[in-house]
Amino acid sequence: MSAGILDRLLRTPKEVANDCREERGAADVARAAIIAIALGAALFGGVVGSWRGDWQVAFAALKLPLVSIGTLAICAPAFYAIAQVFGRPWPLRAVVSIMLAAGARLSLVLLAAAPVMWLLISLGASYPLVKVLAALVYGLAGIAALALLIRGLGGERGRAAIVSIFVCVFMLTGGQLAWVLRPYIGMPDRSKAVALFTKEREGGLVYQLFVAAGEIVDPKPARGPL
Amino acid sequence: MNAQTLSATELPPIDEDDDAAPPPAPPPPRTTPTARSHASALLDTTSSTWIDEARRLAVAASLTAIFGVSLGLRHGGVTLAWGAIGAPLGILAVGALAAPALGILLALANAPLDALDLARATSRAAAKAGILLAGVAPATALFVVTVEDAITVTIVGFGALILAGIIAARSFQHDLEPVLAKTPGAQRAVVRVAIWAFLAFAGTLAIRVWFMALPMLTVMS
Amino acid sequence: MSLRELVVVYLIVGVACASLVIRKGAVDASRVASAAATVVIWPLWAPFALGKPAAAQAPNPRDTGAVARIERALGEAVDAAADTPMQGVFSRPVAARVLAEVARVATRVGELRALAQRAGFDLEASARRLRDLEARGSPERTVATARLQHESLIRLDKLLVDDVQALDDLADLLEALRSQLLLARYAGSSAEGAEAMVSEVWARLEGLGAVMDVGRMPMDSPT
């Protein structure tokens, strides 16, 4: 049953989104989506952690699902609230299942990209390249997820506002949670031991964005692991 | 009634598999789910009483208080209570001070607006703001608890409050559109200006109240 | 408050939600798994674990309350026939047998309804898909598969409609039987008509696909 749902997620996202909205099998979709999100993120995390190797593989395989599912859990109330105020009086189950379906689509793209990522890492891709590739894969996966989300919101007014606000909330929340739980690829300095979390706090994501913007104007040496 | 009137020959036979029958027409397409949310009940636009509107405003304040609590998580303790009280104050100030002033202005302009309609528009706007703030409270909690710098907390906190304010203003304006449509041409401009002035005043008032009532957003530590 | 403390609060709420999940019904492996998931991801899973699906909340237009009517009619018919010569026509064991068979049919109706609510069993969606494939000029094999799927869903829907109608008809018949037995009790009329109706009840149940064990039929149930 889960494999069938995942296949439908990829081939006919509009139908899955409609089913979620009508609460037709929403619980089945939610269950399959959560499993897909956990597995997809774990596999991609393990691959990304393989750049550093050693315990980093396990740490990243554990942390990426935490980030994915944690972000969805934190943003679920926000998505529900945004949908309500912009004219989507849908029950919580419908809203959460649409969000989870989108998250599952994202994770399936990560799953598809994982072997490619592993190959590049095994061929000796550098730390900056792995960072950029991981960001690119997440970007593409995000577009796939967004396609389902947009279809799920229907054609009524307010769709653009819902998507814009929710994407902002989701990216900020996911970014901050990912920042807190870093590193994933590992420390660029391979002489340092693998750590579950980085000791440096260095503010938060938003602060670092300000710092990065400042460094673009006045370049300084890059710092901080990812 | 007796057995003869209900004999087997008079009763319609149970259909066996009837391959010759035409397929039934598919059900008509539905664009919205049949079940609705609790929040939609809070935003209901059907006729209501003053008690209903007061109740709606109270629920909006309670939802906003959840956001205030999330802001207070940074320092904990009594700050939680400050947040729970301070966040709804902005909304209640608009509802209690600014909205009645607008009502008086619109009455002076002889706008075809019932006081209850104004109360309904105000409470619905407050409810939308409350729903949004309660929804982003978990994300806000993550930020206030994990970021080291106070400026991020300020940006996130005021950002959410301003977004809620914009949504509330949009809702208020939308709910008063029917009033504008009924207003004669010359008066319409006056009413429109009054509404815009009210929104600007309400926004400024809310931000000022939040600035005073939410010290956790203004203390740089 | 630190992130660690926030996580502790999160898990406490998760445990509270999980306890509600456990208390919601019989404790089996799936409920325990659902509760365990709720502890960790309650914002995502609790709405499904604790809430009633839309099909259970909204009244189903196809739910005519036939089973409730049948239960009521059977009870009243047994009471009407008790301590009278009609007791041989319709007794409590007979009513229990009828109800057992009706329960089986009702279970099937419930399963068909639940199936119709599930993803992938939507008539409208399958019709739309078939139309899309035909309009796009898709390969004949693909169209044939989609057509087969759609026809299967139509037949499933017809099964449900027919079963619901048959239960409604059975409810009407049992209410008439109850009235006949009451008439016989208070007006002293003959039980012949009631006997014919009881036969018709068994015939209807047979038609609904219920299994008849002739050897176990009570002596007072006419063939």
- Residue whose structure tokens are 């008032």: B205
Task: Establish if B15 belongs to a structural domain.
Answer: no
Question: Residue B158 — pLDDT band, cuts 50, 70, 90?
Answer: very high
Q: Domain extents for chain C?
A: 3-51, 66-216
Shortest CA gap A16–chain C (Å): 8
Contact B90, B213 (CB under 8 A): yes
| Buried-exposed string C63-99: b where 16+ CB fall within 10 A, e elsewhere | eeebbebbbebbebbbebbeebebbbbbbeebbebbb
Domain membership of residue B113 as a residue range: 50-217
Q: Can you give the pTM of this predicted structure?
A: 0.70
Of B36, B37, B149, the CB nearest to A203: B149
CA of B28 to nearest chain A CA: how many angstroms apart? 14
Q: How many domains is chain B partitioned into structurally? A: 1
- Nearest Cα to Cα of residue C158 among B176, A116, B16, A140: B16
For chain A, give every domain's residue range. 2-217
ipTM: 0.83
pLDDT tens per residue across span C71-97? 888 888 888 888 887 777 788 888 888
In a domain, B149, yes or no: yes
Interface of C with B (CB under 8 A): 1-3, 6, 43, 54, 57-58, 123-124, 127, 151, 154, 157-158, 161-162, 166, 169, 173, 176, 179-180, 183, 189, 192-197, 199-200, 203-204, 207-208
Residues A220 and A213: their CA atoms lie apart, in Å, by: 11
Judged by CB atoms closer than 8 Å, whether chains meet at B40 and A89 is answered as yes
Task: Report d(CA B4, CA A220) in Å as an integer.
Answer: 100
- CB-based contact B35 C194, cutoff 8 Å: no
Higher pLDDT, A134 or B21: A134
Cis peptide before A188 (omega within 30 of 0): no
Q: What's the rounded Cα separation, in Å, for the pair C126 and C116?
A: 12
pLDDT digits 0-9 by tens, A141-182: 999 999 998 988 887 888 999 999 999 999 999 999 988 888
Of A135, A206, A132, the closest CA to residue A168 belongs to A206
- Report CB contact under 8 Å: A74, B143: no
Per residue in B86-141, pLDDT (tens digit) is 999 999 999 988 999 999 988 888 888 888 889 999 999 999 999 999 999 999 99
Q: Would you call A14 helix, strand, or coil by DSSP?
A: helix
**Of the candidates B139, B105, B103, which has an alpha carbon nearest to the alpha carbon of residue B119?**
B103
* DSSP states along C135-194: HHT--HHHHHHHHHHHHHHHHHHHHHHHHHHHHHHHHHHHHHHHHHHHHHHHH---SHHH
Q: Given this model, what pLDDT does residue C223 score?
A: 42
Do B134 and B67 form a contact (C-beta atoms < 8 A)? yes
Q: Verify whether the Cβ–Cβ distance A92 to C44 is below 8 Å.
A: no
Nearest to A161 by CA among A77, A85, A80, A105: A85
